[in-house]
Each structure stands twice: as structure tokens, then as C-alpha cells.
Amino acid sequence: MTHLSVLRRESVEALLRAPNGLYVDGTYGRGGHSGLLLEGLGEAGRLLALDQDPEAQRSAEQHQHDGRFRFVSDNFCALEQHVEPESIDGLLLDLGMSSPQIDDAARGFSFRFDGPLDMRMDPERGQSAAEYLQQVSEQELGRVLRDYGEERYWRRIARAIIEARGRITRTSELVAIVNAASPRATPGKHPATRTFQALRIAVNRELDVLSTILEALPRLLCLGGRAAIISFHSLEDRLVKRATRPDPATTRLPRGLPVAPPVQLALRQCGKVIKPSSTEARDNPRARSAVLRILERVA
């Protein structure tokens, strides 16, 4: 049930360069990264933590005695409503789920436990996974399974779900449908792993909210301010990488022009991507797919 924070030291060390500055942990979870950030902050430093999950808010009580700490229960895509423009020295995003969320059957994230098919990180907002499955088209569901789940049997599983959807309200019912529709399981992987991952990403609009905050980074970070982003899915990492690349729409040149004009980029990537050490990957299976990128506002 406890959550082992991923790339904790690496991400916090890369961020903390002005100990009396303003830091934001956009994915508080159980406060592993926040705790280390607070240890490194000076007396005048401040840490604003956000999480959209009510359990994270309860966990944040552990830090409420610290006058430098403030918790806001919200989606990180709304961060601009909670800070002054260009005020953040360091922003941490440790994307995805925490282990206690996955292990709580009542939240419906796991194919290992029977529970209501919900999967919302913020249970007060949006559609549950069961409601989503009631109205999604077979074509869109197939796309979600293929792109977000990298599920090779996406067509068969999408069809089976759509045929049964009036009857899917619990995780165990979805598992049974995916099992029956999957001709062969990948060794060591439960056949429903990819379907559950895909639905969680769709229900929580995880790629949309990541795109929103990446687009806002130049308005949020102070000049020289950094964002440390830990992603667990190749599509997430691709979005983060793209935030430091020139927009093809603005750099395309009329034919025949020999030299591209310099493009003033707002963000640059500091150093190479950072991955968990072999020890961390051995001790924490969740860490194995993690990729950390450090972005810095340069203009």
C-alpha cells in the first residue's frame, strides 16, 4: 500500500536551485517528493502542492504544520489560477497513479481486485470508466486501446466491450470480457493490463491535461525556472520532449530560402533524459518505465 517515490533525489536535486524560491509539486500523491523539497528549502522558501485526489489531500495533513507548505485540491492543469505569472522556480510532475490508488479496490483502477469500474482520480468530476464505456463509439474505443494501451488485440477487445457494455459496471466484469477477447496473453502480463491503462488515461484525460500545463510552462516559470517531469508512458514523454522543440508551424519556411531564421524557444531541455538506476528498478517495479526530463525556461 505504501508508495515508493520514483526518481525522488534526481528530480528534486535538479529543481532546487533557489532555496528561498517558490516550488510547486503538481502531483503530491503521498508527499514523497514534497517531503524532500521541504528538506531542501530555506526558511523563506515556499512549496505549493496540488493533487486532484481526495486521499492525497488527507495525506498532505502531514506537512500542514510547516508554514512554508500549502496544499490545493485541484488538477495541475488549473495551476495558473493559483500562482502569479512567471513566479515558479521549480515545478515537479510525477505523472500517473500512486500505489495506494491502484491498491484501493473501491477506486476501480486495478484488474486485480473487484470493485466499481470508476478510475477517476477526482471522483467528483467527469465520467467514471463505466459511464465512459456506455457512450464511447467502437472506433474511438479502439483508438484508445491501441494508442494509450498499445494493445495489439484492440479491435477484438473494443468490439467485445461494446457488445457487452450495458452489463459492465465492475472491474471483474471488464476483466472477464478482456480475457475472453484476448487470444494470447503476453507472458508475465495480465491480459487486462493494457486495457485498464488505456481507459485510465482516457477517463482522466491525462494527455490533454499534460499538454495544457506544458503549454502554460513559459507563463508559469520564472526565467531560469525549471520543470522536472517524470512520465511513465511513451506518449506522455513525447509530449514533454516536444515542448522544447520549435513548433513546425512557426518554423516552416517558404521554398527556396536557404537558411532558417533563429527560433527563440521558451524552454530547453537540461541534459539527457534520466532513468531509474538498476537498483531502483529492481526495488520498485513501478519505476521501470519512468523517464525524467528537466526543462528550463530560457526566454
Ligand X SMILES: C[S@@+](CC[C@H](N)C(=O)[O-])C[C@H]1O[C@@H](n2cnc3c(N)ncnc32)[C@H](O)[C@@H]1O
Under the rule (CB under 6 A), what is the footprint of ligand X?
3, 5, 27, 29-33, 50-53, 56, 75-77, 94, 96-98, 121, 209
Going from the C-alpha of 157 to that of each of 34, 108, 149, 153, the distances in angstroms are 40, 19, 12, 6
| Under 8 Å between Cβ of 193 and 261 | no
User: CB of residue 77 vs ligand X: minimum separation in angstroms?
Assistant: 6
Nearer to ligand X, 209 or 270 (CB): 209
Shortest Å distance, C-beta 74 to ligand X: 7
Q: Which of 42, 54 has the CB closer to ligand X?
A: 54
The kind and range of the H/E element at 51 are strand 46-51
Query: In the bound complex, what is the minimum distance in angstroms from residue 212's beta carbon to ligand X?
Result: 9
Q: What is the DSSP letter of 189?
A: S
Could you tell me the smallest distance in angstroms from the CB atom of residue 280 to ligand X? 13
CB-count burial class (<10 Å; 0-12, 13-18, 19+) for 220: buried
Which of 100, 93, 101, 98 shows the shortest CA–CA distance to 77? 93
What is residue 10's DSSP assignment?
Answer: H
Closer CB to ligand X, residue 10 or residue 94?
94
Contact 73, 5 (CB under 8 A): no
Smallest distance from ligand X to CB 19, Å? 20
Is the Cβ of residue 160 or residue 290 nearer to ligand X in the bound state?
Answer: 290
Return the number of the residue (29 or 218) whose C-beta is nearest ligand X: 29
